[in-house]
Chains A and B, each alone.
Chain A
Amino acid sequence: MIDLRIHEHPILKFDRGRELRFIFEGKEMKGYESETIAAALYASGLKEFMHSFKLNRPRGIFCAIGVCASCAMRVNGVPNIRTCIAPLKEGTIVERQERRGEFPTNTVKKETKKEELETDITVIGGGPAGLSAAIYAAKYGAKVVLIDKAPKLGGQLIKQTHKFFGSRKHDAGVRGIDIAEKLIKEVLDNKNITVLTKTSAFGYYEPMTIGAASNERSTLYKIKTKKIIMATGAAEKSLIFENNDLPGVYGAGAAQTLMNVYGVKPGDNLIMVGAGNVGVIVAYQLLQAGVNVKMIVEAMPKIGAYFVHAAKVRRMGVPILTRHSIKRAYGDGKVEGATIVQLDDKWQPIPGTERDVEVDGIAISVGLRPTYGILDQAGVKLKFVPELGGHVALRNKNLETSVKGIYIAGDVAGIEEASTAIMEGRIAGLSAAIDMGLAGDDAVELREKVREELKDLRAGPFGERIRKGLEKVEVL
């Protein structure tokens, strides 16, 4: 029987908890209580999770963090469940669905509860920005509700096994997973913060009300709030090439989630597309998980990642081919290989330079785009800013948007990295507390200090893009 679970790792120890049994299409399967349904199925070798609606093409995991829905299945009679964020339970019945899925069969089993909450500040998103925002707002006595749709807090920080850059006082040299642990503990220990995980914030209502729902607890939440901090993060971009929907083509972040959060090997032989920091860091982490990374291809003439990250994978023998891209994926129902091609200086494929690379996984790291949906729905003014990754909210220096009382922090405010997300979270949390009149001069002073530190981090040549982007949106 196939078992892709990792048992030895140089950095991580996987405590999978109790072994569970569940039923997948009539067959009894094994999983663990720390896993999601998708992680358990992937570990058993499943690649085809669903089929496309129109052309019935096989689809597999792409994002692994509950954004793309290409792992949607019927779970205990309910269709369209994103199995990558659905925790595995004893006896769960899982099946693949036909197209959009038949109407739920178990709707009357559980009664939906309704809960009304009143709070000072609602933070949407429990990643580095949201956690820091909650901590800094609660510090000044604000009552905070923190919402996240994932089973665990920490956002994408819980899979960052590498050491962070920056300075010591901002945890440089500390691994992302340990920074996450520290922030999560601070949030959970804080009596002013109410945490709702496995809960989706689905809409903004007038005046200052957030609707949220937890499938797991069958609860619908109406949250009346005075301020809102949107720290909804980002999603991975895809890339256009033939068969880019074949199971086995996934975001680099999905590979990272599978291996570093759930201890499941995404594949045996991979190609990484994109040599920015994410691509190169994930390639290194794939090597640590025992995956063979055959090569990294990068369309740009130079490596986008920090040199030191690139040097780490190069001395492991992984080639980085600049001015190369992927032309197509091939395979019968799943990835069996990738055709790569060299590009000329006008980004056009050079005929005759194609070659096939046998791989069972293609990881895409061509950037992220902000998850701005709920900001848009709330009527916040947005602008398309390529330097910041896509549509982002206009904001003032305190990270307040065009809708008074709604703030932003982290990747949704512009694609950067976790250290800057943490600082933006602090600024947004402090601003919300200050604007409510809960915090005084010391908070204003602290906010100024954080702003200065953030400016320092962005001062170098690698911060140029973000500085240019911010000039276009810091206008309010």
Chain B
Amino acid sequence: MEDYERTGTVTLDYLKKIGNVPSEERLKKGPVAMTECVQDIPCNPCAEVCPTKSIHMDNINDRPKIDFDTCIGCTLCMQVCPGLAIFMLDKSKEKPRLTIPYEMLPMPERGDVVKLLSREGEEIGEGTVVALLFPDKRYQSALVTVEVDNDRLLFEARNIRVVK
């Protein structure tokens, strides 16, 4: 039994071990997707919508593997992912940027300072909302991009809490 089957969370080390974390060099070039989809489940819309065919799966039960070199960070896979398991990371700007899918109320607004939550839902810092993508179709998930202070938050924050 893998730890995540008991805890419902994965660790960054585990994600690195299975090759799901883009390199520092790639992150510096611009936004890139990373998945936290670690089980063999029958699902493949991310691979199907990818415009650059950067998400590879051998069959529908396979785990998605992203080719970080050809991923253009377009967020289409994030919007469609039923597991809300894809995140976008970017270190090409002054501060690191993290994009997460978000399906809760209240929705934040641009400029809001929001609490950043870990994979366990614990508050680990704050970030500033710099971009929002509202879905224009109901099947999509809203995306929230936050600017964060450091790498730890970029790699460990996976949710936000909006304080209004």
Contact = CB atoms under 8 A, between A and B. Distances in A.
A133 B127 CA distance: 50
Interface of B is mostly: loop
B38 A307 contact: yes
Interface string A285-328: 00110100000000001110011111111111110101000000
B82 A162 contact: yes
Nearest to A9: B105
A318 B122 CA distance: 10
A92 to B, nearest CB: 33
A407 interface: no
Contacts of B120: 314-315, 317
B82 A303 contact: no
B75 to A, nearest CB: 14
B100 to A, nearest CB: 9
Contacts of B10: 307, 311
A290 B105 contact: yes
Nearest to B135: A11
Given A163-B82, A167-B60, A302 B6 contact: yes
Given A288-B104, A311-B119, A463-B42, A303 B61 contact: no
B52 interface: no
A316 B121 contact: yes
Given A168-B49, A303-B5, A312 B61 contact: no
A186 interface: no
Interface string A151-171: 000000000001111111000
A164 B82 contact: yes
B59 to A, nearest CB: 7
Contacts of B40: 460-462
Interface in B130-164: 138-139, 141-142, 158-159
Contact of B83 (A287, A303, A312): A312
Contact of B121 (A11, A290, A302, A314): A314
Given A311-B85, A314-B9, A316-B159, A172 B103 contact: no
Interface stretch (A43-51, A140-148, A173-181, A189-197): A173-181
B59 A307 contact: no
Contacts of A173: 45, 49, 80-82, 139
Given A174-B139, A320-B8, A459 B84 contact: no
Given A315-B120, A317-B117, A459-B59, A10 B85 contact: no
Given A168-B48, A301-B6, A315-B119, A11 B138 contact: yes
Given A288-B103, A288-B104, A315-B158, A165 B121 contact: no
Contact of A307 (B8, B82, B139): B8
B1 A302 contact: yes
Contacts of B121: 314-318
A8 B164 CA distance: 15
A172 B158 contact: no
Which of A10, A311, A317 neighbours the largest number of chain B CB atoms within 10 Å of its CB? A311
Given A167-B48, A459-B42, 5 more contacts: A302-B6, A308-B36, A312-B84, A322-B6, A459-B61
Interface of B: 1, 4-10, 36-45, 48-49, 59-61, 80-85, 103-105, 107, 117-122, 138-139, 141-142, 158-159
16 contacts: A9-B105, A10-B105, A168-B44, A168-B48, A173-B82, A302-B6, A303-B6, A306-B83, A310-B8, A311-B119, A313-B8, A317-B121, A318-B121, A457-B42, A460-B61, A461-B39
Interface of A: 8-11, 162-168, 172-175, 177-178, 275, 287-288, 290, 301-303, 306-318, 320, 322, 456-463
Give the top 4 A-B pairs by smallest Cβ distance, nearest first: A317-B121, A308-B83, A460-B61, A310-B8
